[in-house]
Amino acid sequence: MQYIYNIVKADYLQRTRSYAFLITLVITVYVAYLFVPATNATYTTLSASGFKSVYNSAWVGYVSGLMTTVMLSFYGFLLINSGIKKDIDTEVGLIVATTPISNFKYLLSKQLSNYLVLCTIVGCTFVVSFFMFFLRGSGHPFVLSNFILPYLFFALPAMFVVAALAVVGEVFLGKRSILQFIVYFFLCGIVMSTVNIKGGNTPSGVFDPFGLSLVSSSIRNQVNSQFHQHIDQVSFGFIFSGQKPYKVFTWNGITWTGLFIFSRLLWMGFALGLVYVSSFFFHRFDVKQASGKKKKKATKEPVQLAASPITPNGINYRLLPPLVTNYSIFPFVKTELLLLIRQGNKWLWLVNIGLSISMFFAPINISSVFLLPALWFLQVTRWSELATKEETNRLHYFTYASYKPLMRMLPAQIMAGVILALVLALPLIVRYAITADIFSIVNIITGAVLIVLLAVCLGILTGGKKLFEVVFFMLTYTVMNKLPLADYTGALPEHHTIAFTGIIGILILIFAFTSFIIRSYQARHL
């Protein structure tokens, strides 16, 4: 137990003291403020087909609790899914491997530290929900249980499952972060699409880790019985549909059942079981097998040195490539492009190529609103390491001391990232070129530059990639929900103006200026 406590404490403090966590916490607090929109807002977080409850304690508490559960289940995974990888990169895992702690206890400590990080964010949104009630829910009594129970039975058990899945993903998929994201988001998508049960009967919610079906069924049944309607579905999330009148009713929450509460314990027990099973497959930081394969591969074709003169120090100069001096930036761009292309599993390029080609045949609004943001998000692990891989691999001592690193290395990384984004978006660019829609092409180009510079800027600022992954996910989510304010790709031409493009240009200059200033400071104070 002492080993578990020490690992959990150290891991939790290390995570919460990072810039990525602090900035993510600030963003989360602001998003929690948006969970309860004003009456005249152009969006809603719970759509009941034209019906909305008054802002009483039940509505504010349950909506805040559910939105926290759903949103944090998605982007929280991006924040916590590198606990084991960090121990590998820092070689702390080698020390852990020599201790008597078992695999299960180590993985359990990682899960608990993940859980505490997520619970910290949940606690902040819980406090924000109080302020939102007093801000939006004037004239209604404050009922504390309507805030505590949703967070207790929805958010906390769900975060426990998310924390366990982050550990299991690292055990089975290793450093393949993008595969972890794809598998996890696919599972969450399946859950989200199946838990909202249609019909008039109230489901038990046993098989729903989020609790969405329990709340949506209660609201649906009340609307159908009170207004004699036949609505089939209640939707959660940031839904932008413009200002429209709603029929108002009073919803007082759900009736908690012992079966549902017991199901929360079952979900947490299931999460523990997954961690226990994965402990049998945990490598325990043993890299002998991988290194053995590399050595075996390297000795397949031995080099014949007998016919060549060898110097007294054992170096055969004839086998070394000739020294060629080239101060151009283009070899760096080529190298960075190769690093981006070769990163990750090569089979994932079939998905990238398939999505890219589909943009040429799908309806242009589908391609611009959904396919392009999704395709660019699949490159999140590539772009997040553009400006951080040198420090991660401890090569910054060489790169910062190289010839003009600010004029050659950093611009080459930015250019390589932008080229990758534009090549993937090429089918959509060709379609816009055929229709002579130059403004949309400019928007795609500026969007690609913006995302790459955002990755570089946040990577240099924080020294890691987590903050960009979280921010990029939120940005992609808002774009796919057609929020005009986040339309960096120009997917909504009716809302995208020259002034908005100018704002994106200003952001590009800010990100570029910040990146070069900080990298210049780092190079001079190595």
- At residue 305, φ and ψ (nearest 5 deg) are -110, -5
Hey, what amino acid is at 367?
Answer: S
Which range, 41-50, 73-82, 179-188, 510-519, has the best average confidence (pLDDT)?
A: 510-519
43-47 and 235-240 strand pairing: antiparallel
Predicted pLDDT at 98: 87
Predicted pLDDT at 42: 75
The 10s digit of each residue's pLDDT in 277-295 is 999 999 888 755 444 444 4
Query: Residue 413's closest CA among 339, 518, 523, 473?
Result: 339
Question: DSSP string of 415-465?
Answer: HHHHHHHHHHTHHHHHHHHHTT-HHHHHHHHHHHHHHHHHHHHHHHHHSSS
Predicted pLDDT at 399: 80
Query: Residue 493's closest CA among 420, 457, 441, 423?
Result: 441
Cα–Cα distance between 272 and 280 in angstroms, integer? 13
Predicted pLDDT at 299: 46
Kindly state the percentage of the chain with pLDDT values over 90. Answer: 37
Model pTM?
0.80
Residue 313: pLDDT band by 50, 70, 90 thresholds? low
Kindly state the percentage of the chain with pLDDT values over 70. Answer: 90
Three-state DSSP string of 236-267: EEEEECCCCCCEEECCCCCCCCHHHHHHHHHH
Predicted pLDDT at 309: 53
Cα–Cα distance between 450 and 443 in angstroms, integer? 10
Predicted pLDDT at 17: 86
Average pLDDT over residues 412-434: 94
Chain mean pLDDT for the chain: 84
Checking if the pLDDT of 436 tops 70, the result is yes
Predicted pLDDT at 196: 53
Cα–Cα distance between 146 and 133 in angstroms, integer? 11
Checking if the pLDDT of 107 tops 90, the result is yes
Cβ within 8 Å of residue 183, ≥6 positions away: 169, 173
Checking if the pLDDT of 303 tops 60, the result is no
- Residue of higher predicted confidence among 385 and 491: 385
235-249, 379-393, 425-439: least confident range:
235-249
Residue 499: pLDDT band by 50, 70, 90 thresholds? confident
Predicted pLDDT at 425: 94
A 10 A CB-CB count for 39 gives: 11
204-218, 346-360, 448-462: least confident range:
204-218
Is the distance from CB of 242 to CB of 42 less than 8 angstroms?
yes
155-159, 438-442, 460-464, 496-500: least confident range:
496-500
- Residue of higher predicted confidence among 362 and 325: 362
Checking if the pLDDT of 421 tops 90, the result is yes
Checking if the pLDDT of 193 tops 60, the result is yes
Question: DSSP string of 500-516?
Answer: HHHHHHHHHHHHHHHHH
A 10 A CB-CB count for 176 gives: 17
Strand partners for 43: 240
Reported as type and span, the H/E element at residue 51 is strand 51-53
Q: Count H helices, E strands: the chain?
A: 24, 4
A 10 A CB-CB count for 210 gives: 23
Predicted pLDDT at 6: 87
Predicted pLDDT at 155: 94
Is the distance from CB of 412 to CB of 403 less than 8 angstroms?
no
Average pLDDT over residues 106-122: 94
Within 99-211, where are the H helices? Answer: 103-136, 145-150, 156-173, 177-195
The 10s digit of each residue's pLDDT in 475-485 is 998 888 777 77
Checking if the pLDDT of 199 tops 70, the result is no
17-31, 140-154, 431-445: least confident range:
17-31
DSSP-based three-state secondary structure for 182: helix
Six token digits for residue 507: 């952001």
Checking if the pLDDT of 67 tops 80, the result is yes
